[in-house]
Structure 1
């Protein structure tokens, strides 16, 4: 290659003597396209990686109840597992944000994607190490559906039959499976922690890279596209969660015709592990483009002579093997504390940081526990809940974020206008959010808890699941396996309902001759019951429709200020501190806001 062509190649690659090139056409290299297309490739790669990380994060949300049942751990421990993502992220976020801005940002993002993929695969590993899933309950033996066990054990003959079947079940289990299952949740925690470490460079380095090399009037639109992709991810994440929750946990390993429970049964555990394999593969595929992108991009003509330099203009680390690299890194380290003081001393940045912390604190319950709230309050199954959120709620968030970026670009809104739009959307959104508190359902009629066995809504504080109708049934006190009686009352289990007979049609269990269930027409005991809690009724279904309608509008309104908020954050600080500012913002939200930024407001 002659010297002229070599110089042209350097200009086309976006770097000449460590500075971004200002050229948009590469002379002498007819096969090359316009250099500005490199930024579009980076933008597309960022959209895909945001989609991938949001999909895996939302899928984790959808499997919280499944993991809780499968590993037999309390909700408090599940919260620690969920929070391990933030722990891993916080370990490296400041270092990655500050030092990563001076290094090869695309490759660092690719490395983070690779770690995310490995962590996601690690979460699914326990399923292949643990034994097959066994569950409590006496209606049918889980591996032999031809043997029926009376739910209410009243005589020695029934008790002997139950003891023999339980002994047979215990013999089929491996002795070490119980001990192994009690510790395998640590593997899930470590996998989620590794996901947090891998996610750290994506947001601060990716957003700052876009802002460095995009036209100023296009930055808001590009960020809106990235955030919209981040919202589309949870749509597929919750749909994937809905599909996997409808499959039995040991699908492919056991004969499903021999499984006597259905997704409506409280003991059902879906194929939670399957979605992590899919999410891990998507994250792995997202790493590929970043390894082929240049360290720098050519800057647009309108910004060549502007006062907004690239983040890499202060420190240029072209060759990590350069003997002077140690001195440059030392100088960067010395400038860290002054840069941090400069950021925190900026009143606009500090106020935006505090406002964001308060906002995410107020919405953390809505984000993390909304699926579980819908299940418990409105009587929806895990499959139905994930499907509803994925198809209705999350698209409203995507539309709001994209609309915010489009408004910023179309009307060329400045930093003051961005602040006003952010404030208006937040005020209106929170006012609408307050109305959700009045859209609840009446409490469920559970015998011995909210409803007496005698049929009265007045219940004493000393009431218990035991009553005269089930005293001889020897029911386990710590086993919640609800059934719905013909009288519309939910019972702790078929045993507490006093059911003497059971039958199974397909995967549906029906119980007969229940001494605690009053027959609706005759007013006598001995009614029947079906597996699962009783329906909440039409009034609750109507309240659920109102809840979802207001929730959708609220999500759109709140997300409308998302992109203006990012622009306010990027424009109120020095350009060379953008990555560090985004890193501090992310760290503050994760520590004080206790929220996951990889999952959108739903």
Structure 2
């Protein structure tokens, strides 16, 4: 989550007013028309005093910021090829994107209301733009990219070539420029909006007589003097704490909320869901490239046009369900169970939507010992380098060779410098098929499962949409499951825990799982670098299996939340039947459930 996300909580809380406060404000003596008209004209004439303009600028800034993080994840496979990185290392790079957020998120979400928030958002956006520039810096300071130009005078590279890199750095420059442009308006917004100033003044007038729930302070005087309330009040977060006081009091608040079973289980459910999303966002493009033989650009196009919109629809659907049906805590947990269960169901077919790796000479695939010995004897006569990589495919039996030299080719059709889609190498005498003087084509062999690409994306997208439905209900469970004084801080702790437990470790865990499926590593200066070939079946089972594990964790956590809430309802009903009295908390639960029941009917 960006800095601007963390600052939204206090800003929204300052601008929200209850109906009773609005009535009191309207009953106060209004200003004369002659005094208000000049003020209104001045406000309308100033573009940066409009809350609509602020919302528009904030939306554009969020879009520009997401361009950088999204482009980083979409370029993972390209960066691996360019700098010879393993998936574990590239996952570690993606995880470092969350370090700054994790360090500052709680402090910014709490102390952000004390500073000039628009300027702070603008400064944060400038830092994001600077980070985008730094991401492109290795292209300018590293040596030029050299791929293996090694047999028969040269070769041509196309986007489908496994050595293709392209201008990966250009997207970071464009994204950084977009963030810089969208950050400029924030330096012209005032510290507080005019309407916000009026509401703050109004709150100062009524705060001595009303508490946060709109109840009289005299009615609460007896409970405030009780020993339990006084002890609990020591751990409450006051808005005038210093940084040192906040650091001292924060562990108490964190432990108090972590001891709450609903808060803990809902956060764990979100951690599991975020772990799934983080791994998929980081390595799904690479998985599609390897499994279905598509280019990186086409894989990202499918994800951006199908999977991401499906997730957006899921989030909106969850919000509509909560708003229209007035769902209480128990029904919010039921929505979480339903979404998690359907997400698991859509994940099952993914284990079987793929095909094994095609044969790769002297690397992978079935071949008799005699064929292997003949192949090695043939390639030794050609004195082929073991470190070269210029894959060619024998389309007759879909066998791939690391270089045309290993296939024993001595001729070539086509000009590599003319940008042709493929080059044909002729007079190949070392083919395992036994066909002498045959020909091979440049590039890796096509996958025989390309027809499963769209169904695979469809199941991934539907599962993501159902998982996203749980987003808003989980927020409601957190806000209703903590104390009033902890709500704003609980949201910050929630995002912090998601980043520490999900967004930081998940890309590394997925990277390790992907690396274990590698069957051939490139050798750079005697050191293992990028993986050239994977066992597709093992890659699919481990990548999808890890995703499936996180989906099950989400389902289990929401199920436990539902069980606990149902048990609390039964205990509340038993208490009412025994004592004939209903507490204020029980009244809120009953009224919420009653409204949701009426809406469903």
TM-score, with structure 2 as normaliser: 0.65
Residue 552 of structure 1 and its aligned partner are, at CA, apart by 1.8
1:392 is aligned to 2:306: yes
Q: Specify whether residues 444 and 89 from structure 1 end up closer, same or farther in structure 2 by C-alpha distance, changes over 3 A only.
A: same
Q: Within 5 Å, give how 1:49-448 maps onto structure 2.
A: 49-139=61-151, 148=153, 260-291=156-187, 292-295=189-192, 297=196, 307=212, 328-448=242-362
Q: Secondary structure at the match of 1:502?
A: strand
How far apart in 1 are the matches of 2:506 and 2:47? 32
Q: Secondary structure at the match of 1:525?
A: coil
Q: Specify whether residues 107 and 534 from structure 1 end up closer, same or farther in structure 2 by C-alpha distance, changes over 3 A only.
A: same
* 1:193 paired residue number: none
Q: Is the 8 A contact 2:279 2:506 kept in 1?
A: no
Q: Is the 8 A contact 1:480 1:493 kept in 2?
A: yes
Decide which structure has greater helix share: 2
Q: Secondary structure at the match of 2:437?
A: strand
Residue 41 of structure 1 and its aligned partner are, at CA, apart by 4.2
Q: Secondary structure at the match of 1:499?
A: coil
Is 95-104 or 60-69 further displaced after alignment? 95-104
Q: Specify whether residues 331 and 74 from structure 1 end up closer, same or farther in structure 2 by C-alpha distance, changes over 3 A only.
A: closer
Correspondent of 1:507 among 403, 406, 419: 419
Residue 563 of structure 1 and its aligned partner are, at CA, apart by 2.1
Is 378-387 or 69-78 further displaced after alignment? 69-78
What CA RMSD, in Å, does the superposition of the two structures yield over aligned residues?
3.9
Q: Specify whether residues 282 and 419 from structure 1 end up closer, same or farther in structure 2 by C-alpha distance, changes over 3 A only.
A: farther
How far apart in 1 are the matches of 2:64 and 2:94? 18
1:47 is aligned to 2:59: yes
* 2:446 paired residue number: 535
How far apart in 1 are the matches of 2:25 and 2:174? 41
Deviations 1:173-228 (A, max 9, x none): xxxxxxxxxxxxxxxxxxxxxxxxxxxxxxxxxxxxxxxxxxxxxxxxxxxxxxxx
Gaps of 5+ in 1: 1-12, 141-147, 150-258, 318-326, 452-456
Q: Secondary structure at the match of 1:49?
A: helix
Residue 269 of structure 1 and its aligned partner are, at CA, apart by 0.9
* 2:463 paired residue number: 554
Q: Is the 8 A contact 1:421 1:561 kept in 2?
A: yes
Gaps of 5+ in 2: 1-13, 215-235, 508-546, 552-601
Q: Is the 8 A contact 1:120 1:277 kept in 2?
A: yes
Q: Is the 8 A contact 1:264 1:381 kept in 2?
A: yes
How far apart in 2 are the matches of 1:597 and 1:48? 28
* 2:406 paired residue number: 496
Residue 274 of structure 1 and its aligned partner are, at CA, apart by 0.5
